[in-house]
Each structure stands twice: as structure tokens, then as C-alpha cells.
Structure 1
Amino acid sequence: MTDKTAKYAEVATNPPESIELKPKKSIDDDDAICLKPKMTLMNGITVIVGSIIGSGIFISPKGVLAHTGSPGMSLVVWILSGVFSMIGAYCYAELGCMIQKTGADYAYIMTAFGPFLAFMRLWIECLIVRPCSQTIVALTFSAYIMKPFFPTCDAPDVSARLLAAVCILVLTFVNCWNVKWATRVQDVFTVAKLFALFVIIITGFVQLGYGHTEYFTFENTETDISEIALSFYSGLFAYNGWNYLNFVIEELKEPVKNLPRAIYISITLVTVVYVLTNVAFYTTLSPGEVLGSEAVAVTFGNRMYGPVAFLVPIFVALSTFGTVNGILFTSARLFYAGALEGQMPEILTMIQIKRMTPAPAVLFMAFLSICYLASSDIFRLISYVGFATWLSIGLAVLCVPYLRWKCPEMERPIKVNLFFPIVYIIATIFITIVPMIAAPVETGIGVLFILSGIPVYFIFIKLRKPMWIQKILNSSTVAMQKFFMVVRPHTSHTS
């Protein structure tokens, strides 16, 4: 152990109470215990692309088609979902460059609307969106990785859940051990997933060259507007993750320059890839085959690639593995930011003294995700995620016009036209309110989850805790500090 590490270890293992470590002036800034800007533009692009492209493109085609009724309308929904995500990302570029704090929309809502709405956003993310999304992707990983062993039937449900848990735990170790390891995992698996999708796209172009366009019609298009709105839940779920780089902006080099570049490049690339992948699917598979398939890419591969079709589920598994890593990497920073504001347990503010990673936050995220493995109904989980996600992201985008009015003096390296946040907010209202008619049970449960955060806020955050409870919490925090060898970062976090 080096002298520097030994010094920090002694402080961490013998704290009189929960501490905030402030290194002496003799310690270089490079040695300070904090999250450091290590991510390049390429890392930023791979975080976004790797977080977006995961299970969505392989499971959502069925969900989109089921609610639109025709391949033609499905492609329209995929394009509009990409445009919708780009508008949201454009708004987030202004917010991210203006409020450069870990936590992204949580930090934006805290700045604009105060602690209560910020906590509600944090509650939605903690209770539903992040762990549920990670569980969906991990379950998809396990389903595809086992597909070569169960080619004619579904894999055992218990085995799928156990393998999903192993996936989450392995990546939890990586993210606790080293930030560079986590970003390298993201880089490698992003390349793997893009390669797999490009192979499918090229195959689609070959099929188009042979004139296979018989399924590209608008026949049987759904006329119920609420059903069309529900189709956006599946479509937008596939794009979920476009805002994840904002959550780690403190670790991005030259964020004012690299954040908008990474967003624009990533969203454009993903939209093109998604639309062309769906085009490829419909050059070969009929609407009935898509609706009847639990793994559209595998069905497509079995029809087109013959003896090497087994490679398709392997590449899909690689894709989803990278996405689990991206969700875990960014979600831990959200919990970390919430803890710095005093809205989550203090231990989640801590940084591992040797690895410089927010290990407690990573472990907390992994624990919540594994809890969601109690359910394996992917499409029901998507409904919960969709309602909660777009409601809370719409609130974050509302920060753009609100802060223009409330704080016009704030420096804005990027300033978007107000037309874009207004369009985004209107569209968000449409895709959150209208589905309540078509899926009242799922959205009702989502509303109850959200409302459950209100008593939690007033009991555990707003009200002053009795001294004996505070002593128990402090003792627990100190014990966990000693166990995980973690301390508070030396930089303060203010709203």
C-alpha cells in the first residue's frame, strides 16, 4: 500500500463520525478523492450509444407492431421516436452545459423547482426506471445467451433469472473496481453490437435488392389514438438512455464542447441504425412472424444465416451486456448526486479511497436491480418504465423555459430555440396521458409508485429526525465507511 493510500485508509477506518475528507495543500489535485474527468468524446459517444442500443431494438419491434397494426406505421413510430429523442437531447445539451453537475435532470430540477420535485424525480428513477430498465436488459441478455442451448423452446425461467443476476454482479464488480475498466467494457461491447446490427442491415439491403418489399404496407393500421400512443412506449424504450451522458458530466473532458457533440452524433447514428434494422426485419419476416416471435433477431437469423445463425443470439447478448454496464455506470452517479443533496443515505456520497469509484452507489443500484428479478414479465415492466420515464423527463425539459424566465442571467454556452422544449413537453403530455385510457392498470400502478414518494419525502427528508435515530444512522454510516473503505469527496456539491 502506498503512503498516500495508507494515509487515506487510516482516516477512513478511524472516523469519529461520517466525514468529509479534505486533503492537505501538499496533496496534488490529481490525488484528491473525487470523481475525475477521464472520459473523452469517443467515450461519451460509446456511453450514449452503448446505453441506448441494448435489448430495445431486439424486443421492441414486436411491441411497436402490436399497437400500430402495420409495418408501415411501425416505421413511422420508430422515426418519430428518434426525432422525439433528438429534441429531448437538444434541450438536455443546454441544461447540461449550463448546470454541470453529476445527476443530470435531477440536478436541473433541483436548480429550477427545488428539493421536493427533485426528490420525486429521484424517487421515480430509484424505485422504477433505472433498476427496472437494468433488469429488463439483463433478462434479455440471459434469454439470448441461452438461446443456442434451447433453440426450439424457451429457457427455464429460473435459469434466466440467475444468469441475469450473474450479469449484473459481474458488471457491478467492474464498475466498483475501475472507471477505465467500465468505459473500456462500454467501448468494446458498443463496437460488437453495432457490428451485429450492421450485418442485419446489410442483409436487409440485399433483400431489398431482390425486391422483397411485400410487407411494407399500411394495411391494418390501428385507428385508436391511444393504441398509437402505447406504441411509443415500446419505441421510446428502445431509445431510452440518450440522456445518460449528462449523468456523468463531471467525468467528461471539456463538457461544453464534447457533450453536445456526443449527443448529436449518437442520436443520429442510433436513429438511422434502428430504422434500417426494422426495414431489414420486414424484408424477410411477415407481421405475423414478428408478432409471434419472442426474439425477432433470432427468427430473422434462422431464416437468413443458416449454419451460422447461432452467432445472432451471441451478438445480441453482447449488445445487452454492454447496455447493462452503461445503465449501471450512469445510474450510480444519479444516486451519488442525490446523496450529496441529502436526499438519499449519506453512504452513497462516498468514494472508494483507492479505486476512486462511487462503490456504495454502484452496489445499491445492483441490489435494486436484482430485487426486480422477482418478475420476468418484460412488457409489463416496459409499461411501468415508459410512463415514469417520460413524465419525469418532460419535467426536466420544462426546466429550459422556466430557467429562461427565472434566471435569464445564467451562462448558457448552448441556447436552444424555445420551440423545441415546448414541442417536447406537448408530446410528453400526449404519451403519458393518452395511454391511461388504453392501459389503466399499468399506468395506475405507475402513478401509485410515484405518489408513494410523497410520504417518504416528508417523513425521511423534510421532518427533523429524533436524536436517537440520527445516532443510529451515523453509526451505520461509519460502519459502512470502514467496511467499504470509502470517504466523502473533498469537493462540495451545492444546488
Structure 2
Amino acid sequence: MQKENMRKEERGQVESENENEISKVELQRTIGYFQGVSFIVGTIVGAGIFVSPTGVLKYSLLNVGIALIIWTACGIVSLMGALCYAELGTALPLSGGEYSHIKRALGSPLAFIFLWTAVFNKPASNAARALLFAEYATQPFYGECPAPELLKKCLALAVLWFLGILNGRSVKMAAWVQTVFTILKMMALSVIAIGGTVLLIRGRKENLARFENAFSSEIPNAVEVAEAFFQGLYAYGGWWSLNYLAEELKNPSRNIPWTVMTAVPSVTVFYLLVNISYLTVLTPKEIVSSVAVAVTWANRVIPSVAWMIPLSVAVSIFGALNSSMFTLGRLSYAGSQSGHLPSIISMINIQYCTPAPAMIFSTVIASIFIIPSDLIALTNYFGFSVWLMIGLTCASLIVLRYREPDLHRPYKVFLPVAFAMVAISLFLVLAPVVWSPKVQYIYASLFMLGGLLLYLPFVHFKIRFGFMDNITCYLQLLLEVSPANYKSD
């Protein structure tokens, strides 16, 4: 009798363990240090450094020395911001990036405004990247003639859905694609950097003169320096992407700080070397007037394989789009977990352990922006909102330091760095509004605040519609998804 009871207990324990394994539905920690570096670098390095790094030089009044200093300063500011995010990511390793940190420190309404703005702004940015990829991918087949708009839109939609499905089916495959395309784009940048360095070492007089007299041109005023600074920081955009992956990163306490300290300085060094290479081959006036600087550089230095540069631009855009799609899916997933989006979006595919509904949701919205692509132009006026949210996130770090001093922080940034980032963000939010006020900025601000019209009834007062439960149930069965950490009875 005792033996039978013992066997039953053993069988019960085994069955219980098996049920726990089967019913454990959550995001998996599958992204390592190298993949994390690939995501940051791949997000930052897009088409800009290949196509038109002219803004910094233009607003520096063709002063080579000032332009290179601004590129360096922008890299330092980006690293400061990334280190602030590293503290938040190690202390609160959750999906959602800024959204999760703002919600914890500053409250649900501000987090909802961020989500509401991002759900409009970020898919539009992805749509713009997809259209730019289609432009570079189709143009070689049409020579001097422009490619048909319908073809570009169809290709852009195909790329969006390919990456959306890829990210919805396999995190490992998405990370592999990101790593491969990051390596390819950095190889292309290396060709430009090394080529320019070799030419500089050989030392033609006209090439060396640009650097010997680096500060001989007119010195820009404060407003022009600020404009150049804006252009440089735009080129570094994406340094904040790692925090969206925190819930899927192996050993986040160690990997988040080390990944940030590797990726951002590496991009800064590459940006400086590439700009020096451009200036070695081309004059500042030629750079500013060129439509695609890297193509002009290649036609001068390696004309026989100049076709590699347009291909490299397409590869670079594809990699940046992949990482942006990945992070946007995690933002939607985190917002749904907090009740700020429909509950189906927070569910995870049982077979692949990916936030498939969130990926579908973000891909559908990006697709809508591609069809009437004029909508993308509207998001240009939301640029200030990016730095507003960065400032709020760094302010969240300061608030949590004082409000939750006992919160476990595996990495702590030097607190004055956070205060400096808040001040820089405030300047970058107010500067465009003060220097070139436009009515569109008012519309963008009203749109952001308009999110509260949805927050009050559906989040604060928790109004629900009965038919939504039926739709959620149907989509669960269709997509084979369930809530995270679902436990079967």
C-alpha cells in the first residue's frame, strides 16, 4: 500500500513538472552580448552616414574642425544617455524601454501619452525606412529613370511583412538576421574608413590641407552650432534600443552596461573615420552638394566596384528596419501588459514564445502609413517628442534614485550625467519651437495630449465592451497565443 502511494506521489510530481514546463509561456532570454551589440549598432547606423552626412558640415559653415568636434560631442551625448538607460535596464529588466521606466517613476498617464505618440510615430518611421529600402533596391534596374511608385510601395509592404513574420516566429532568427546585416554594413563602412585612411597616409597636399587648416573657415554662431548638433544627434538615433530587449537579454545585469559601452563608442569611432575619409577625397563644398556622398566617394576611389555602395545602403536600411520592428513589437507588448492596449497584444505564441500579436499589430500600422505615404511627412513635426521622452526617462532615473533608494541596481550611472541629459533634452525640445515656430508643433502637441481622451475612459475608468472578449478569444485560437506565464488548471 505504501509503495503504491509513493508511486502515485512520484507520478503526480512528474505530471506537475511536465504541466509547468508545457504551461510556461513567456519571453525567453535568448539574446547574448554580441547580438545586443548588433541591435544597437544596427539601429543607429542607417542610410544617413552613407547617403547624406551633410547637415553637420553645412551648419558648421564648412568648418572641418568644428564639424568633427560636433560628431564627437554627439557621440558622447549618446553614450551619456545610453548609460542612464543602462541603469534603468539593469534595475528594471522589462520589455517596453522608456515606456516601462516612465510608468514606474512618473505614473501611468505620462506612460500612456508616450505609448500613444510612439504607436503613431514609430510605425511611420518604419514605413519611411521600408520605402527608402525599396528606392535603393529598385533604382539599379531603372538607371536614370525613377522607379514606379506602385512597385516601391509593394516592395516596401513585402519587406515590412517579411520582417514582421520573421520577428513573430523566431527571436533567434531575427537576432541572427540582425547580426549578419550589421556585420555587412560595418564591412561597407570599413571599406570607406580604411580607403580614406590609406589615402590620407599617402598624403596628397590638397587632401592634407583640409585637416592642417581645419579651423580656418568661418566659425558658426551658437544657433548654427545647435542646428549642426541636431543633425549629428539624429544620425546617432537608436542608442536607446537595448532597453526594449531587456526581458530577453541573457544576464542583463552584466550585458546591458557592457553592450552599451561597446556599441556606442564603436559607432562614434566609425562615424569619425568615415567623415574623415569623405573629407580626404572630397572638398567640403562637394560633400554638401552631393546627393549621395558615399556613391560620389566610391566613384572617385573604387570606380570599378562603386555599385557596392547603393547595395550597402539597402543592406544598412534593411538591418535598421529589422531592429526597429523588433523593438516596436516589444513596446506594444509592454503597453498591452499594463492594460494600455487590447489584451490580445500582450499574449505570446505558445509554440515560438514570441509576442506574435504585438508584431502583427505594429506591422499593420506601419503598412497603413505606406499606402498614403504623405502621412509620413506629418511625423517630421514629432521629432521634439523623441527628446521629450528621453528627458522624461532620465528624469525617471533621478526620481527612482530618491524614491526607491533600496531598488537593486547592478549598475549605477554618475548622477550628474542624468541631470545633464535632462537639461540637454529640454534644450532639444524647446530649441526648434523657439527658433522656427510652426503651427504644426501645436498640432503635434495637441495630438500627444489627445491621448488622455482615450486614457480616461478606457484605462482610468476601465470601460470595457463585451464583444472585445469574443474577439480576443477568437484571435487566441487563431494565433495560438496565451497570456504570459499562463498556468493551466
TM-score by length of 2: 0.88
Residue of structure 1 aligned with 2:460, choices 459, 462, 465:
462
Instruction: Mark the CA change 1:150 to 1:39 in structure 2 (over 3 Å): closer, same or farther.
Output: same
Please give the residue correspondences for 1:325-336 in structure 2 after superposition, counting only pairs within 5 Å.
Answer: 325-336=322-333
Residue 299 (structure 1) aligns with:
296
Residue 176 (structure 1) aligns with:
168
Matched, 1:237 2:234: yes
Partner SS state of residue 366, structure 2: helix
Give CA deviations for 1:266-300 in whole Å, capped at 9, x if unaligned.
Answer: 01111111121122122223333333333222222
* Amino acid paired to 1:268: P
Residue 106 (structure 1) aligns with:
99
* Amino acid paired to 2:319: G
Instruction: Mark the CA change 1:444 to 1:481 in structure 2 (over 3 Å): closer, same or farther.
Output: same
Residue of structure 2 aligned with 1:194, choices 186, 193, 196:
186
Give CA deviations for 1:305-344 in whole Å, capped at 9, x if unaligned.
Answer: 2121111111221111111111111110111011000001
Is the 2:127–2:376 Cα contact (8 Å) retained in structure 1?
no
Residue 97 (structure 1) aligns with:
90
Residue of structure 1 aligned with 2:280, choices 257, 278, 283:
283
Instruction: Mark the CA change 1:24 to 1:395 in structure 2 (over 3 Å): closer, same or farther.
Output: farther
Matched, 1:483 2:481: no
Give CA deviations for 1:359-386 in whole Å, capped at 9, x if unaligned.
Answer: 1111111122222325667995674353
Instruction: Mark the CA change 1:213 to 1:132 in structure 2 (over 3 Å): closer, same or farther.
Output: farther
Residue 19 (structure 1) aligns with:
none
Question: Which deviates more, 280-289 or 85-94?
Answer: 280-289
User: For the pair shown, which has the larger CA radius of gyration, 1 or 2?
Assistant: 2
Matched, 1:137 2:129: yes
Is the 1:101–1:107 Cα contact (8 Å) retained in structure 2?
yes
Is the 2:398–2:418 Cα contact (8 Å) retained in structure 1?
yes
Instruction: Mark the CA change 1:221 to 1:146 in structure 2 (over 3 Å): closer, same or farther.
Output: farther
Matched, 1:471 2:463: no
Is the 1:34–1:489 Cα contact (8 Å) retained in structure 2?
yes
Q: 2:226 & 2:373 partners in 1: Cα distance?
A: 24
Q: 2:218 & 2:141 partners in 1: Cα distance?
A: 37
Q: 1:30 & 1:187 partners in 2: Cα distance?
A: 30
* Amino acid paired to 2:404: C
Residue 266 (structure 1) aligns with:
263
Q: Note the C-alpha offset of 1:260.
A: 0.6
Give CA deviations for 1:373-421 in whole Å, capped at 9, x if unaligned.
Answer: 2566799567435312111011001112111111112111111211100
Instruction: Mark the CA change 1:444 to 1:288 in structure 2 (over 3 Å): closer, same or farther.
Output: farther
Matched, 1:117 2:110: yes
* Amino acid paired to 2:230: Y
Is the 1:203–1:280 Cα contact (8 Å) retained in structure 2?
yes
User: How many residue pairs are counted as aligned between the two chains?
Assistant: 465
Residue 446 (structure 2) aligns with:
448
* Amino acid paired to 1:136: A
Please give the residue correspondences for 1:60-79 in structure 2 after superposition, counting only pairs within 5 Å.
Answer: 61-72=53-64, 73-79=66-72
* Amino acid paired to 2:310: P
Residue 339 (structure 1) aligns with:
336
Matched, 1:354 2:351: yes
Q: Note the C-alpha offset of 1:55.
A: 2.2
Is the 1:55–1:238 Cα contact (8 Å) retained in structure 2?
no
Instruction: Mark the CA change 1:89 to 1:253 in structure 2 (over 3 Å): closer, same or farther.
Output: same
Q: 1:476 & 1:263 partners in 2: Cα distance?
A: 41
Residue of structure 2 aligned with 1:167, choices 159, 162, 169:
159
Give CA deviations for 1:204-251 in whole Å, capped at 9, x if unaligned.
Answer: 1123223314555453554251x4334333322221221211111111
Q: Note the C-alpha offset of 1:480.
A: 1.7
For structure 1, the 5+ residue unaligned runs are 1-22
Partner SS state of residue 440, structure 1: coil
Instruction: Mark the CA change 1:75 to 1:255 in structure 2 (over 3 Å): closer, same or farther.
Output: same
Residue 86 (structure 1) aligns with:
79
Q: 1:378 & 1:312 partners in 2: Cα distance?
A: 29
For structure 2, the 5+ residue unaligned runs are 1-14
Instruction: Mark the CA change 1:412 to 1:325 in structure 2 (over 3 Å): closer, same or farther.
Output: same
Residue of structure 1 aligned with 2:410, choices 409, 413, 416:
413
Is the 1:332–1:365 Cα contact (8 Å) retained in structure 2?
yes
